[in-house]
Amino acid sequence: MALGAFGAHALKTRLAPELLAVYHTAVQYHFWHALALVGVALAWPHAAQTWLRVAGWLFVAGLVLFCGSLYALAFGAPRQAGFATPLGGLAFILGWLAFAAAAARL
């Protein structure tokens, strides 16, 4: 929430529109996958913990690689920092598959 508000107010006049869009994409994915981590925690007592552990770590990896690289790019990191973005996206996808595998074992 704070990152979104920071982007909407403090960065609106400081970043070019295309970089602000990159920042907002990072915030949006950060928000949804933070909620996914809450879902992992809530499912922990009820589902296959091995798959949930895998899902949780993949979500964390996605947050660091995907969101982190987008935040870095928005703040002026070299374009090479973007190499991590698709790896983070893959981590998110695999995290959702692991979460689904845990749910399927209920």
Per-residue model confidence as pLDDT tens digits over 40-85: 999 999 988 999 999 999 999 999 999 999 999 998 999 999 999 9
Residues 6+ apart with CB under 8 A from 32: none
Task: Please tell me the distance from the alpha carbon of residue 22 to that of residue 2, in angstroms, as a whole number.
Answer: 17
Would you kindly state where each structural domain of the chain is located, as residue ranges? 2-104
Quote the pTM value.
0.87
Task: Please tell me the distance from the alpha carbon of residue 104 to that of residue 18, in angstroms, as a whole number.
Answer: 40
Which pLDDT score, from 0 to 100, does residue 6 have? Answer: 56
Which pLDDT score, from 0 to 100, does residue 9 have? Answer: 46
